[in-house]
Structures are given as structure tokens and as C-alpha cells.
Chain A
């Protein structure tokens, strides 16, 4: 019993890590590759979650859709919708330099949240959408968690392989060139604006997919999930800690941060009973402290971005030229 409980908890954490790793990978494309400071992850997360919910729930009164389609279509729809929303935003906002882009993207995430909260016809407003089908959700508790973890891992591995390929491909080198020296890249004839927009949209699509996986796992999505603390800043901490510019770092960061975030609550529960309520704030403090320490002692993250020289010697043949 005790052991099964631990396994169940580990499975749950692994699923959450997988979902957060997708968000961190999406952010890595935007920040790690292209240097775009997107502080509106929650917005794309929400677009994906709601799109997939609308596509895959049974028809419902009083709101748009409920198309009762297969969840895979929902997830594809989530990526497309997040990409579509990202396109005009990127078109307008990517002309800003990094810190101004951060301000604009926070604002945009907030606009998306308020639209979702205020348009009951589209999203059922503040009540959210519930009874979203969960793939393999009708079997036992542990079995359904295992099944969902396999699905999440499959999606994550596919995303990782594709993003890693892009990173090592000429496209990845070009993005880093644009990030590090925009003028030089322009002089080489690269269409900087278009390429940055590309990175922004790819990243947003992955974030949308993360949102869709999250909504189906919980079988419900409500505006409360679009809290910037857990949907934007936690992802940033994961990427910075894991190592921006390194895809494995993004995934590792997601794992480390979520494990500390979640497991520290169990540790603080061992404090005397009277402090049960106060102790909950310790983990907020821990996350902040961790970010401070990493930024102070290891600003490049746990797994730093591979330098180009390393890349050349490690990789031979295939994707060069």
C-alpha cells in the first residue's frame, strides 16, 4: 500500500514534469535559440488547453462547440490554435527589444486570460470546461496514470527529437547567429524578422500542446489554471535553472524544479503541527532561493548551451553542410 502510493505519486510527478518539460522546450526555442523574452507562456498554454477542450468534449449547451472529436485531433488543434494566436502577436511585438517584449507579452497573456474569463460563449467563462475525456482514463487509478505517462513521454520524446534536430541543423545555427548578433546575421542576408517570428510560433505551438496535455490529464480546465505564477514564471525558472539553449537542460530543469516544488511540501509537513499553514510558504521561498543561487553561481544553468566548437567535434557528417 505504502509502496504503491509512492509509485502513484512518482507517476503523477513524472506526468507533470513531462507537461512542464514541453512548456520549457517551447520557451527554449523562443529564448534559448532566438533570444525572445516571452513572459506570456500562460497565454499560449491557455489557448492550447481550451482549444483541445472545445474540440474533444461532447456538445454542451451555452457555449461554442463541444465537437466530440478524438483527443489527437484536439492536440493538433491546440498546436495550430496557439500558433495562429502567436502569429499576429509576433508580427506586432517582435519588433520590440527583449525587455519591452517581456512587458508586451505579459500584457498579452493577461488579455488572453481575461478574454477566456469573460467569453462564456467561447469558453464557458469563469466556470471553465469540465468532463474533458482523458485518454485511457477509464481503467484503474494506477493503470490510467501509467497509460497517460506513456502518452506524455511519447509526445515529449517526439518534441525533443524534432527540436534537437532543428537546433543542430543550419536553422538552429542561424537562430543563434541572429540572437547573438542581429546586424551580422542581417548582413549575411538572413531575414531576421521572419526567422524570429518562426521561432516564436514554433515555441507557442509547443506551449499550446503542453496546455492541451494538462487539460486532458485533469479532465477540466478553468481560468484559475492560467495563473502566471505556475504557468509562466515557474517555466522560466525551469529553463534558466536547467540551462537555456540546451534542450536536455530544459527537460532537466523541469524535473528538478517540479520535484523540489512538490516534494518540499512533504518535507515541510514534518515540521510541528502548529506551523502546518505557515510551512507552506517555505517552498515559495525555496524556489526563489534556488533561482538566486543558480543565477549567482551558475548563470549558464545546470546543463549549459553546447558551444559551437563542441558541436563540431561531437557531431560528424550527417547534418553538416
Chain B
């Protein structure tokens, strides 16, 4: 039995060694996602969106001198153990020049810390929102196409202060998304702006009733409830029960709350006092182009983080092209292809970008999920607006700064 297992393991190894000798000099990028595990429902669409970018590159002349771009899919399972394992395989076995993902913040931190930073490989995550990623000592190799939770929380606090909100209570989902947003909001609202938060409480997801949580939150006399949760999940339950029982008068949500499920379930007429912050750029030309293309390959453009995933893969391809296919230059090139200066490139315009890069002209990618002008930490500033519920879905109240 023992020998059989060894034989099996050795067989797998040999198969791998044989199969990894590439027939042609393809350029590979890793697409690492939480395929199994807690975000298994979201990951396939995100991977498909990234594959769309790869497909467009290959249809429009490929990378470098007619080489093919290949997206190698790896399963990071939303945890550090599998995240580092998938990243190690992508970097060492497949020889990728950069990775899109992992998706979850914990996997990003571990994969960056133990694999991509030491190996000098560029990592760009479409959905890791933890502020800890900004603080990595990454030698400029870690990027993301989604703003840090820190940014949105602070912008929301400033906007609320301007809009004249007074005492508020904060309810947040106890995961990295909710905690990150709530922490940043609190830091800005209380410490910087001198606002008052009467209650600040985390809740676990998936309970049938949050009335006791709400009763606790209502103590202290705040008239506004700020909810950092998902509008198609626990956040909806909380909002409904708060409305039913009249615990609060006004409600404010983060981007997770700006879900159509809220309007469909509760009715627009009941949501007059509800506002939510969310990224704008939702109506940009770039997004239309992406939506069109993604529908063309059978994808759902409204799925969460798909535009970020697409942008991450397209940006990585642009950076690889600019760096001439060498992994060493990719990180520096990433900043150059999206710094707000140069000829605009929209999603899918690979041919144009390739010609401009060949001619040595500066280019600036304007992505489906935002302009993605990276700062020195590899973060993107979000462009957020505050939205209210109108007769026709969500409408912008004001831009958030």
C-alpha cells in the first residue's frame, strides 16, 4: 500500500514535469481565486472575467511577438494554506510573470508574504480590500483594482458630516469587509471630525432575528443607523427589522448595502430615508464596453467584482507587454500604464494599446471599475458617490470626497 501511494505521488510528479515543458513560448499569468471555499459562488464569474481579458489579448495580436497569453487557474480556496500553495505552483511550476488574485485578503497577505514578494512576481488582486495589504513591505509589487475599505469608510464619514448627520449608531458584519469599513468610518467620524457614535457593534451573519441587536444599538439616542453589511444578506434583515420596529429614522449603508434586493424586498416607498455609498464610474463608457464584451461570452456583468477582475487581468497584460514579457519589469510597468497620463485605453482596446506601446507612447488604462491610477502603495482611490432610492432605482445624491 505504501509503495502504491509513493508510486501514485511519483507518477503525478512525473506527469507534471513532462507536461510543464511548453511547446511554444507562451506568456503565462496566474489567475488565483477562491474556487472552493467560502466565496465559491463568486469566484467562477471573476475567473471568467479575467479569462475574457486574456481572450481579447490573444484575439488582437497576442503579447509581445505574437506570443499567446495564457491564464493559469489556481485554487486559493480563500485561505492562506491553499493561497500560498496555489501561488507557489503558479510561480514555480507554471512560471507566471504575474498573478491576478488571490481573491480574499488573508490569502493575498500570505501569498504575497511567502511567495510573490520574495520571488519578485507582481501580484494584483481584484477583491482583497483589507487595509493591511497597503502596509505590506512589498517593494512595489502588490497592487489592487479595488479600493481599500479604509478609503470608503473615511469618505463616507466626511460626506455624512457634510450632509448634517448627528449622532449615529454603527452595526457591522463581523468579517474583514465589515470590520474594515466600520473601523475606518469610526476613525474619521469620531477622531477627525468630532462626530458622535453612540453604539458600535459587530454582528454575526445568518441569524433570523436581529431585534435584540437593534434594541441595544438604539440605546443612546442616535436617530441614524449606519450598516456595513450586504444588502442581499444579513444587512437586508437588519434594515427590515429596524424599519418594522421603528428603531431608527435614517439609515446609511456601505457599498454592500446598495443592492437591488433591498428595493425589491422592502419597496422604494419605505426607503425614503435610506442612502448608501457606492463606487461611481458605474455609467462610464469603459463599463459599457466591458458589459457588452462580457455578455458576449455568456457572463453576467452585474456579478460582484467581475469588472475589477477584468481590469486586473487587462492591466497585468498591459504591464507585461510594456515590460517586454520580463517578470522583473512588470511592477514598474504597471504604474506606467495607468497613472493618469497618456493616451486613454478602454477595456478591450488591446490592439491600440499594443501599437502605442510599440511606438513608445505613454498610455493610460481607464478600466471598467474605475480609472485605476495607482498610488505609491499600489492602491487605487475609489470614486464614490452617495446614492438614494428614487422612483427608478438608485440615484446619486452627491459625490463623496
Contacts and interface: CB of A to CB of B under 8 A. Distances in A.
A231 B79 CA distance: 10
A224 B80 contact: yes
A66 interface: no
Interface in A207-234: 214, 217-225, 227, 229-231
Given A144-B118, A224-B104, A227-B79, A131 B135 contact: yes
Q: Give chain B's interface residue range (CB within 8 Å of chain A).
A: 35 or more
A258 B7 CA distance: 15
Interface of B: 1-2, 5-6, 8-9, 12-13, 15-17, 19-21, 35-37, 43-44, 47, 72-75, 77-82, 84-86, 88-89, 91-93, 95, 104-107, 109-110, 113-115, 118-120, 130-132, 135-137, 174-176, 178-180, 183, 202, 204
Contacts of A264: 12
A16 B17 CA distance: 21
Given A130-B135, A302-B1, 4 more contacts: A5-B95, A8-B119, A130-B136, A227-B37
Interface in A160-207: none
A298 B4 CA distance: 13
28 contacts: A6-B93, A12-B92, A16-B85, A118-B202, A120-B179, A126-B178, A127-B130, A127-B132, A128-B109, A132-B113, A134-B114, A145-B118, A218-B84, A220-B109, A230-B77, A230-B79, A259-B9, A260-B5, A260-B8, A262-B89, A263-B12, A263-B16, A266-B89, A277-B44, A280-B75, A281-B36, A302-B2, A302-B5
B142 to A, nearest CB: 11
Given A218-B109, A225-B81, A9 B88 contact: yes
Please classify the interface of chain A as helix (H, G, I), strand (E, B), loop, or mixed, using the class held by over half of its residues.
helix
Contact of B136 (A131, A134, A259): A131
A280 B92 contact: no
A141 B328 CA distance: 14
B9 A256 contact: yes
Given A2-B95, A280-B75, A126 B180 contact: yes
Interface of A: 1-2, 4-6, 8-9, 12, 16, 114, 117-118, 120, 125-128, 130-132, 134, 137, 140-141, 144-145, 214, 217-225, 227, 229-231, 252, 256, 259-260, 262-267, 269-270, 276-277, 280-281, 284, 297-298, 302-303
Given A224-B106, A230-B81, A277-B35, A125 B179 contact: yes
A229 B8 CA distance: 24
A221 to B, nearest CB: 8
A284 B89 contact: no
B17 A127 contact: no
10 A-B pairs with least C-beta separation: A224-B106, A219-B113, A222-B106, A5-B92, A218-B110, A220-B109, A280-B75, A276-B73, A141-B118, A126-B176
**Chain B CB within 10 A, most for which of A1, A114, A230:** A230
Contact of A265 (B74, B79, B91, B95): B74
Contact of A128 (B9, B15, B75, B106): B106
**Chain B CB within 10 A, most for which of A4, A120, A125, A276:** A276
Contacts of A280: 35-36, 73, 75
B9 A126 contact: no
B92 A6 contact: yes
A318 to B, nearest CB: 29
Contacts of A4: 92
B44 A217 contact: no
